[in-house]
Structure 1
Amino acid sequence: MPAPVATVPAATGFVWTGTLSQGGLILGTAPAGTRTLTLDGRAVTVAPDRRFVAGFDRDAGTQAMLVATLADGRVVQQPLGIAARGWDISRLSSLPKYPVPAPEFARVRPGELAQIVAARRIAAVSDGWRQAFVWPVTGWISTLFGSQRVYANGEAGSYHSGIDIARPTGTTVVAPADGVVILAADHPFTLEGNLLMIDHGMGLNSAFLHLSRIDVKPGDRVTQGQPVGAVGKSGRATGPHLHWSLRWGDAKLDPLLVAGAMK
């Protein structure tokens, strides 16, 4: 696993901490006078104190570019080297890919996906992104972020977009950072089960899948360490566990890089 980098000041005026790798996240400070900021052409929100957060998808390339446009019209570029990672790839000799969805699945799934997409469009105001994230639950990590199956016909399945932590049903799940609840499913989704999503601000959000119980509702403000639900096995799950995923916009992040090793 890539090691987090210490605070890095650059001659360009950028400063950042975090992990410059696929699935990594950095917390940075933009140069003085920054009016707009982009990462590889994507707009990055900058707080009044010039702080920002940026993440790198599991499949991100090995080079990225931060570009700040200053109030006086100058443009400051900061190249970033993104460390490539190896992923756990399981090659299955006989198991077919998930079959054609049953009619009931095909009927209800579009509505579930629409709720998830709508939730991710909410731009909640929160400073949770500034915090050092904590684990929502601790236990045995049963599936790592980024792992993937390749089926008998050579077709690759979608990769695992979060991290699975095995714990008994009913184990308390807490908020890893301050935030605003943007989705608290009122019924189990077909795959995710009881799904809870929290926006930590600046486009950074968490999703918690397969819960047995959700203790908060949309619009609630939660604080780091506050109980928000309980581990379960709702939806498509073979046993009780918490699936925790993190996203910055469309970039899927590795919670292990963001929260650090369990203590």
Structure 2
Amino acid sequence: MFLDGQEVTRASASGAFVIGFDRDALPDAMVRVVAPGGESVQVLQIAPAHYDIQHIRGLGGRGRGTASPELEARIAWETRRKREALDSRADREDFTTGFMVPLTYRRVSGRFGGQRIYGGVPRRPHYGLDLAAPRGTPVHAPAGGVVTLAENGLLYEGGLILIDHGQGLVSAYLHLSRIDVLRGQVLRQGELLGAVGATGRATGPHLCWRMTWRDRHMDPMLMVGAQAPA
């Protein structure tokens, strides 16, 4: 399967494939599917979304301090671990069954795609959906998949789980107070992942739920209830 002229994925044995579009995707994309019986080309229209943008004025000089060599080494090591897990390309099609929200009881405390602009300088958008819930609230797998990372004590994410649902569609669960799965474990939809916490860089107990497809940041709520055509 080709996206805008670049081969990006191959269909599963049943013929299913998934593609994702980033927060700042262009308004159209050309998809070309090549099969033994021929090929099909379709131009997709990408509907624009509206994000929470905050303009912060008068602060200025929000520079970061210099990190120690030890801290820089830790950040580099954690970045490599996360990069390896995000690069997973499991030969699975769990994405075809649809997704559920990983928390039964929650309050949306931060929407996907929000961004702050300080003195005209845009900061990195928030690529997660923040779901506030009491510490210890169970977190469940929204769809089946294989665990590619299950780590406690990360600097920014605290307790972090990454799950590959097939073909590089990876979901992430940040700030967990407890992790109940292991790297390499195969999950079914609804299985217990861990519990809500406030570990890492978090100001209060919540689950930051993220989703990427091959480095494209996606709003995970768009996958809730979505299923492959019959």
Q: TM-score, normalised by structure 1?
A: 0.79
Q: Distance in 2 between matches of 1:95 and 1:196?
A: 35
Residue 174 of structure 1: aligned partner: 140
Following superposition of structure 1 onto structure 2, how do residues 1-263 of structure 1 map, counting pairs within 5 Å? 37-40=1-4, 41-71=6-36, 74-96=38-60, 97=62, 99-103=64-68, 104-137=70-103, 138-152=105-119, 154-185=120-151, 187-259=152-224
Q: Distance in 2 between matches of 1:217 and 1:48?
A: 27
> Which one-letter code corresponds to 1:76 in the other structure?
S
The residue matched to 1:197 in structure 2 has which SS? strand
> Which one-letter code corresponds to 1:81 in the other structure?
Q
Deviations 1:1-31 (A, max 9, x none): xxxxxxxxxxxxxxxxxxxxxxxxxxxxxxx
> Percent of counterpart pairs with the same letter?
41
The residue matched to 1:52 in structure 2 has which SS? coil
1:68 CA displacement: 2.0
Residue 14 of structure 1: aligned partner: none
Deviations 1:127-183 (A, max 9, x none): 32111100111411000000001113x221110111000001100000000011100
Structure 1 alignment gaps of length 5 or more: 1-36
1:250 CA displacement: 1.1
Residue 228 of structure 2: aligned partner: none
The residue matched to 2:17 in structure 1 has which SS? strand
Structure having greater relative contact order (Cα 8 Å, sep ≥ 6): 2
CA contact (8 A) 1:105 1:190 kept: no
> Which one-letter code corresponds to 1:254 in the other structure?
D
Q: TM-score, normalised by structure 2?
A: 0.90
Q: Distance in 2 between matches of 1:110 and 1:229?
A: 26
CA contact (8 A) 2:145 2:186 kept: yes
Q: Distance in 1 between matches of 2:66 and 2:195?
A: 29
Q: Distance in 2 between matches of 1:64 and 1:207?
A: 26
With over 3 angstroms needed to count, the CA separation of the structure-2 counterparts of 1:180 and 1:98, relative to structure 1, is farther
The residue matched to 2:23 in structure 1 has which SS? coil
CA contact (8 A) 2:12 2:92 kept: no
